[in-house]
């Protein structure tokens, strides 16, 4: 029989070497095609140490990327909150005020400070910045960034749609 070409001892030895060094090493040592050894291993549920480590490394990298996405999303949300807080609170603004001089007297300058609320344009920039940051956080975490509202069509629209489907499928539309 074709399946009895290799002894159970050869199969066991190949799989043992396969788990430690891979299919190519087992193939070279026992003269069994690497593809055959991989088939035996798959049927037996056997993996190589190298394969296991590669799977673990890929999973660790995937988790690392996911964690970095979550960290970045947190940073975006923190930035949005900071921007909202900073722009809505009153603050002290300092400006340099210059006083023009004359031909005989040089000009002078002074620093003036004043407490003020943010201007409308600053508030608009704050809201836009916060909205963008929140949207980016949603993108990074797989959240919805848009909503589509689907409503039940009224009875007449449903009937017309059904008529159209019947015509498309080769039937006749109901005549009212």
DSSP E strands in 8-155: the ranges are 91-99, 108-116
The pTM of this model reads 0.40
The span from the CA of 104 to the CA of 58, in Å, is 78
Write down the pLDDT at residue 14. Answer: 92
Write down the pLDDT at residue 1. Answer: 43
Write down the pLDDT at residue 137. Answer: 86
Task: List phi, psi (to 5°) of 113.
Answer: -120, 145
Write down the pLDDT at residue 33. Answer: 95
Flag residues of the chain having pLDDT under 50: 1
Query: What residue ranges do the domains of the chain occupy?
Result: 2-47, 64-141
- CA nearest to 41, candidates 15, 65, 64, 66: 15
Angle between helices 8-21 and 49-88 (to 10 degrees): 30
User: pLDDT > 70: what percent of the chain?
Assistant: 88
Structure token pair of residue 73: 């999303």
Write down the pLDDT at residue 2. Answer: 55
Each residue's pLDDT tens digit, 146-167: 766 666 667 777 788 888 888 8
The span from the CA of 66 to the CA of 132, in Å, is 21
Write down the pLDDT at residue 125. Answer: 85
Write down the pLDDT at residue 29. Answer: 95
């Amino acid at each position: 029989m074709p399946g009895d070409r290799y002894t159970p001892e050869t199969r066991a030895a190949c799989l043992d070497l396969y788990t430690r060094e891979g299919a190519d090493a087992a193939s070279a040592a026992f003269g069994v095609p690497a593809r055959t050894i991989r088939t035996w291993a798959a049927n037996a549920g056997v993996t190589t140490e190298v394969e296991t480590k590669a799977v673990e490394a890929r999973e660790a990298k995937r988790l690392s990327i996911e964690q970095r996405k979550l960290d970045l999303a947190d940073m975006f949300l923190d930035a949005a909150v900071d921007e909202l807080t900073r722009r809505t609170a009153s603050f002290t603004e300092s400006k340099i005020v210059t006083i023009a001089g004359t031909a005989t007297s040089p000009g002078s300058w002074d620093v003036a400070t004043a407490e003020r609320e943010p201007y409308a344009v600053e508030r608009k920039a704050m809201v836009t910045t916060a909205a963008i940051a929140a949207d980016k956080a949603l993108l990074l975490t797989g959240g919805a960034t848009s909503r589509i509202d689907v409503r039940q069509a009224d009875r007449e629209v449903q009937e017309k749609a059904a008529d159209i489907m019947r015509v498309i499928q080769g039937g006749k539309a109901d005549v009212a």
